[in-house]
Amino acid sequence: MLSVIVLVLALLKAASGFIITVDAHETMCFYDHANVSDKVTMSFEVMEGGFKDVGVEISGPDDDRLHHSQQDTLGSFTFTAMKEGQYQLCFDNKMSTLTPKILMFQFQVARAIEFYMDSSKRGDDVIEQAAVQSMINELSAKLGAVKMEQEYMHFRYRGHLEVSDMVELRVLAWSIFAPMMLIITAVLEIYYLKHFFEVKRVV
């Protein structure tokens, strides 16, 4: 059983999560190779920038367009590869004139179970290997989604913490500045009134 798990873990392609910045009018594309019947999983979420929307396009071999949208904040796509070749995930920020967009995405290709049932590519215990592979693929995809969500929440927390610290500093500065201005104003008024009512004697 241990050898089966080691074999499956070695063959499993781990999910990759990335954080990127797409500048205004810029398009960024990412590629991965998939065989027929492989499971392709893509997910993304815009974390910062403008209205937090971005253009998304997914295409397969021979430039087959699988998905296209102009203003998405988040999305998740899972499909079975019908052709062998390069699959492409593109993000564009053409709708924005100045604001860059910061987003997190995941692009994963998992081997189909049939791949491990090929006698030229597997050892013994075929059914057990296939079952373990299927469970690990599913677990890997779910863990990748959880990790991406945690990173997004941590990013949002840091942003809110910076805003909170800035507001606290401004409140502290104003609480010191306002009493000082009141004291200075009171001293000036007393000085002015004192000299206003002062009687000058002519000798």
The 3-state DSSP composition of the chain as helix, strand, coil percent (nearest 5) reads 45, 30, 25
The CA distance from 16 to 89, in Å, is: 13
Residue whose tokens read 């997910």: 43
Residue 203, pLDDT score: 52
The CA distance from 203 to 105, in Å, is: 90
* Domain at 2-156: CATH architecture: Sandwich (2.60)
Query: In this structure, are residues 147 and 108 in contact, taking their beta carbons and an 8 Å threshold?
Result: no
89 versus 117: the higher-pLDDT residue is 89
- The pLDDT mean for the chain works out to 80
Residue 9, pLDDT score: 38
Residue 186 has pLDDT above 90, yes or no: no
Residue type, 183: I
Per-residue pLDDT band for 7 (boundaries 50, 70, 90) equals very low
The CA distance from 91 to 23, in Å, is: 10
In the chain, where the domains are located:
2-156
Residue 123, pLDDT score: 52
Q: pLDDT tens digit string along 139-171?
A: 777 777 787 778 778 877 887 888 888 888 888
Per-residue pLDDT band for 10 (boundaries 50, 70, 90) equals very low
Residue 122, pLDDT score: 53
Residue 85 has pLDDT above 90, yes or no: yes
Residue whose tokens read 């000299």: 195
Q: Which of 61, 62, 66 minimizes the C-alpha distance to 79? A: 66
Q: pLDDT tens digit string along 22-68?
A: 999 999 999 999 988 888 989 898 988 888 889 999 999 988 999 99
